[in-house]
Amino acid sequence: MAAYAKTKIFYISVGFWLIIGVESYNGWSNHRLTIQAGGSFTIPCHYDEEYKQQKKYWFSEIDEIYKNTTEGNLSIIDYPDQSLFTVSMRNLQNEDTGPYDCVVDIEEIPTVTYELYIKVQSAPDVSVVDSSVSGHEGGDISVQCLYSSGHQNEVKRWCRYKDQSCYTVGRSNTSQSSSVQISDDGRSSFSVLMTGLRLTDSGWYFCFVGQALNPVHLTVTEAKPDKEKDIDDELLTVWLQGSAVLLLLLILVGVFIWRWRQRPKQDQHQIRKGNNSTAIDRIYSKPEDHVIYSTVNDENPDNPNKDIIYSIIDNVPGSEVMKSPAAQSIFTVQWENLQTSDSGYYWCAVEIRGAPDDGYYLYLTVQSAPDVSVVNSSVSGHEGGNISVQCLYSSGYKNKVKQWCRYKDQSCYTVRRTNTSQNSSAQNSDDDGRRSFTVLMTGLRLTDSGWYFCSVGDQQVPVQLTVTEAKPEIMITQADTEENTSHVERFCLSQN
């Protein structure tokens, strides 16, 4: 083993530290750093300013080798302006366990400035949550030091490497106007709080538990000038205002989308009225479909002298635009023999001022089995009576919202709620087992006639309801009953 002198370099002013109450330790030997197998560490090695130009080494007493270059899993970096160099070892294994030294070549004599015993084991005795922390001048930082159960009763310290000053758990000390407070939870960690930071607080520190340690590097930056703070405050104010506007916009968009998904997917039709004008109901497809239109006439109830024109899609076999009663101001589209190639978006539109205006759109899906269907797509009842509609849905829509929606005013009745509109009651009940829900409308009125939708999630199927006038009741009087019974003949049978 090469001979070398082991000298310890200290930067201690005992009188000064005793005055302010900070403990100083000159026993900075036999320190132990425990590292988990496969882990890494970085430690500082301090030296006198006069030795900036001298060679620095990391000496391993295991194989008695001096190293001062970065190679493999070892990195050695010198910081002459800070009068220290750092040593980093990575991917440590059990065979790396042993004593190590920070060495400075002084007058060609290797001089030890710091001794450390490194032990590689399954779990470290002492560790930290963050090995590098930073704060600004006048601010605060917090460090959490963790220790194993076997070290609960040992002394816990927060020590500065440069001057070897230590702060012990349970004491509050002040150094150069920065305050250090340490609190131990008594189980597995103690916390260090440094307040009123100064630029001179930057440097290396150790979490100590007994003789076991773990290094922490602290960086303190200059406080921002007031002008920059004002600019930052202004930017923050603008950012907050912009964020509030954006958030409000997102909320409005979200509400709109939610309302849109909850309603039957249609827009209210727009019918243009006026002198010497013609309202045209058309069904438009995508522009690239090159649809050809023709028209049929019907009498406009609002203006008997004018015609309303309905269109028919000529190039789609099986499709037909049908006239509904004029008072309803609607037209219907019936399409037969649908194929999968017919799937896509479709629009109902009204031409207003020479341009088509979308009145209703939907996405049509043609598949082997519908997601939503009805037992009867057309139901009828008389005024004051009841009707029932059974809406069926596939298993994938079991947990979707089920609704019974009216096309005309876009009002919806949700399953398991009972609502009343214009004295007629709509009750919805869901049968999860049979994958269907039933709509019962009682106390029907003539105004309930029209189109409705069974809606499950974003899927819909239309149902037409027709309410007729109540039939007049036929009264049977007692006199009529007696007259009828007077003509009853009686027969008696006997057995011979």
For residue range 207-266, what is the model confidence (pLDDT) as tens digits? 999 989 999 999 999 987 766 666 777 888 898 988 999 999 999 999 888 877 665 444
- Which of 118-127, 209-218, 359-368, 478-487 shows the lowest per-residue confidence on average (mean pLDDT)? 478-487
Same domain, 186 and 211: yes
User: If DSSP codes are grouped into helix, strand and coil, which group holds residue 125?
Assistant: coil
* Residue 487 predicted with pLDDT over 60: no
* Residue 331 predicted with pLDDT over 80: no
Same domain, 17 and 163: yes
Residue-wise pLDDT for 140-199, tens only, equals: 999 999 999 888 889 999 999 888 888 888 654 444 445 899 999 888 999 999 999 999
Same domain, 242 and 119: no
CATH number at residue 85: 2.60.40.10
Range of the domain at 183: 5-221
Same domain, 319 and 407: no
Question: Given this model, what pLDDT does residue 364 score?
Answer: 83
Same domain, 91 and 40: yes
Same domain, 242 and 196: no
- 145 near 189, Cβ under 8 Å? yes
Distances (CA, A) of 290 to 287, 315, 437, 460: 6, 9, 40, 28
- 327 near 301, Cβ under 8 Å? yes
Residue 173 lies in a domain: yes
Residue 491 lies in a domain: no
Q: Average pLDDT of the chain?
A: 75
Comparing CA positions, the residue from 406, 386, 402, 384 lying closest to residue 394 is: 402
**Structure-token match 């009125």, residue found:** 445
The residue type of 277 is S
* Residue 40 predicted with pLDDT over 90: yes
Q: E strands of 155-250, at which residues?
A: 156-160, 165-168, 172-175, 178-184, 189-195, 203-209, 212-221
pTM of the model: 0.43
Residue, of 35 and 279, whose pLDDT is higher:
35
Question: Given this model, what pLDDT does residue 131 score?
Answer: 92
Partners of 344 in beta bridges: 364
Question: Given this model, what pLDDT does residue 117 score?
Answer: 93
* Residue 183, both tokens: 């609190």
Same domain, 409 and 450: yes
Residue-wise pLDDT for 4-30, tens only, equals: 444 433 333 333 333 333 343 344 557
- 100 near 114, Cβ under 8 Å? no
Taking residues 471-491, what's their average pLDDT? 52
Number of domains in the chain: 4
Residue, of 448 and 356, whose pLDDT is higher:
448
399 φ/ψ sector (left φ>0, alpha ψ -120 to 50, else beta): alpha
Burial of 289 (0-12, 13-18, 19+ CB in 10 A): exposed
Residue 320 lies in a domain: yes
Alpha-carbon span 267 to 113, nearest angstrom: 83
- 298 near 331, Cβ under 8 Å? no
Same domain, 234 and 168: no
Residue, of 292 and 196, whose pLDDT is higher:
196
The last residue of one of the domains, among 262, 291, 323, is 262
* Residue 78 predicted with pLDDT over 80: yes
* Residue 336 predicted with pLDDT over 70: yes
Name the DSSP class of 243. H
Residue-wise pLDDT for 263-276, tens only, equals: 544 433 332 333 33
* Residue 56 predicted with pLDDT over 70: yes
* Residue 413, both tokens: 């009745």
Residue-wise pLDDT for 449-460, tens only, equals: 999 999 998 888
Taking residues 281-299, what's their average pLDDT? 35
Residue-wise pLDDT for 351-364, tens only, equals: 666 666 656 667 88
Residue 411 lies in a domain: yes
